[in-house]
Amino acid sequence: MRALLKPVIARELGVVLLKPGSELMPMFISGRVLVESQPASMASFETGRVPDLRQPLAVNPALRPFFLNEKVITAAGGLAGLEYWLLHHGGGTCQYQHSDYHYHELTTMRHEPGAILLCGHCDNRLREQYTERLADLARQNVIDWVLDIARVALAIDKTREISLPELCWWAVRVGVTDALPESVARDALRLPAEKQTYRESEIVPSVPATSIIADKARALPAAPETHAGAPPAIKPIVGVLVDPESPQTLMKRPKRIRWDKPKYLAWVKTQPCECCGRPSDDPHHLIGWGQGGMGTKAHDSLVIPLCRQHHTELHNDPVKFERKHGTQPEMIIRVLDRAFALGVLA
């Protein structure tokens, strides 16, 4: 629980008095209380308890087993998805802070239970090592990534924290409600904590809160995922067939066939914009580079998720766009790598 309190300062005596009121008094009775400066993001809040919506789930110890559960990691996109997130949203700096030299290019290193963002120098130095410090970094990366994936999947504004009920709803949508700890599920459903009993006669059978959530989930119709970070489908969206003896390969002047896959385009449109990370609006087909000439269009495999702003910017001046954001083939390689890693293409 966090709160904003207005202190009463007795300047002559050098004493600071806090007036928590009846709602916040349990904070002071239960143990030590951390006092810190008011964050700028809370400047407009009224004095009193901070709404639950602002409570950071990343530091909730009861949720740690959920975030680190293998099923939850898979539902969020797998370790390949975590590595992609680190490279694009991990802060842009090496996470192994020390006084030594840092190389300018970044890469990821897998480390139980997730992965770490490192510069090339630290990657060579720490490869194949296991330390508790690296494990803490990897755990925190997994937690931050799962929360961000859930926030994007539910179209929640990144300016605020995701709430516990919202996280549980994401768990329902991706089918990992059984990974929720019982205490967390009871808290989300606002059920009273189970009383500890020592006599067999006092034991009253109760329905587990996780099963209540699971039952509600089964009663709901399956909703299609429409946002970035959606879990991989059980079956691939598109099955890529390989035919090394295609009839066209035996023809002297074969007629080229364009690869046309609307389902793949629909998935690409759910991915974040390759330039800014915001929800994309269009699957952009490669232009230039020998593709997209007069009356032709690149294969549907050669597409990039872009928001409307960057899609317009690319078509207005492709050369300037690629100088600023990177080449189109590089972006396509990243998208294809993610599609194969998540099982979209198989």
For the stretch 72-130, pLDDT in tens is 998 888 888 898 889 888 778 888 876 577 777 888 898 888 899 888 888 888 887 78
Whether 25 and 113 map to the same domain: the answer is no
- Alpha-carbon distance of 210 to 175, in angstroms, equals 12
Predicted local distance difference test score (pLDDT) of residue 204: 45
**How does residue 68 score in pLDDT terms, banded at 50, 70 and 90?**
very high
Q: Tell me the range of 35-39, 180-184, 253-257 where mean pLDDT is highest.
A: 180-184
Answer whether residue 236 is part of any domain. no
Answer whether residue 85 is part of any domain. yes
Whether 323 and 266 map to the same domain: the answer is yes
Rounded to the nearest 5 percent, the helix, strand and coil shares of the chain are: 45, 10, 45
Instruction: Give phi and psi for 301, each to the nearest 5.
Output: -80, -20
Whether 35 and 155 map to the same domain: the answer is no
**CA-wise closest residue to 233 among 335, 342, 338, 153:** 342
**CA-wise closest residue to 187 among 171, 203, 209:** 209
Please state the domain count of the chain. 3
Predicted local distance difference test score (pLDDT) of residue 9: 53
Task: Determine how many CB atoms are found less than 10 A away from the CB of residue 227.
Answer: 17
Whether 67 and 22 map to the same domain: the answer is no
Predicted local distance difference test score (pLDDT) of residue 210: 59
Hunting for tokens 């099963």 — which residue is that?
Answer: 211
Answer whether residue 228 is part of any domain. no
- Alpha-carbon distance of 284 to 308, in angstroms, equals 10
84 HSE (CA, 13 A, CB side):
26
Predicted local distance difference test score (pLDDT) of residue 93: 84
Q: Tell me the range of 184-188, 202-206, 220-224 where mean pLDDT is highest.
A: 184-188
**CA-wise closest residue to 261 among 315, 312, 303:** 303
Give the pair of three-digit tokens for residue 286. 């490669």
Answer whether residue 12 is part of any domain. yes
**How does residue 306 score in pLDDT terms, banded at 50, 70 and 90?**
very high
Predicted local distance difference test score (pLDDT) of residue 127: 80
**Which has more pLDDT, 86 or 226?**
86
Predicted local distance difference test score (pLDDT) of residue 321: 93
Hunting for tokens 């480390």 — which residue is that?
Answer: 111
The pTM of the whole model exceeds 0.85: no
298 burial (CB, 10 Å; 0-12 / 13-18 / 19+) is: buried
Whether 89 and 180 map to the same domain: the answer is yes
Whether 173 and 67 map to the same domain: the answer is yes
Whether 66 and 169 map to the same domain: the answer is yes
Answer whether residue 297 is part of any domain. yes
Answer whether residue 346 is part of any domain. no
**Which has more pLDDT, 276 or 251?**
276
Helices (H), 90-154: 120-126, 132-153
Answer whether residue 227 is part of any domain. no
**CB neighbours of 270 closer than 8 A, spacing ≥ 6?**
225, 226, 227, 228, 230, 280, 305
**Mean pLDDT of the 185-207 span:** 58
Answer whether residue 230 is part of any domain. no
**Which has more pLDDT, 305 or 189?**
305
Whether 136 and 283 map to the same domain: the answer is no
Whether 201 and 79 map to the same domain: the answer is yes
**Which has more pLDDT, 55 or 345?**
345
Which residue segment(s) compose the domain that 27 sits in? 3-50
Whether 65 and 211 map to the same domain: the answer is yes
DSSP track, 27-57: HHHHS-----PPPGGGTTPPSEEPPGGGS-G
- Alpha-carbon distance of 75 to 202, in angstroms, equals 40
Whether 27 and 175 map to the same domain: the answer is no
- Alpha-carbon distance of 76 to 93, in angstroms, equals 23
- Average pLDDT over the chain, rounded to whole? 77
What are the Cα distances from residue 17, in Å, to 20, 34, 160, 328? 10, 15, 30, 60
- The CATH number covering residue 294 comes to 3.30.40
Tell me: pLDDT of 329 over 90: yes
Directed axis angle between helix 328-341 and helix 78-89, to 10°? Answer: 150
Whether 270 and 156 map to the same domain: the answer is no
Predicted local distance difference test score (pLDDT) of residue 69: 92
- Alpha-carbon distance of 217 to 194, in angstroms, equals 23
Predicted local distance difference test score (pLDDT) of residue 87: 87
Residue pair 177/216 in contact by the 8 Å Cβ criterion: no
Least confident of 6-15, 134-143, 144-153, 267-276: 6-15
**Mean pLDDT of the 36-43 span:** 65
Predicted local distance difference test score (pLDDT) of residue 284: 92
- Alpha-carbon distance of 3 to 54, in angstroms, equals 10
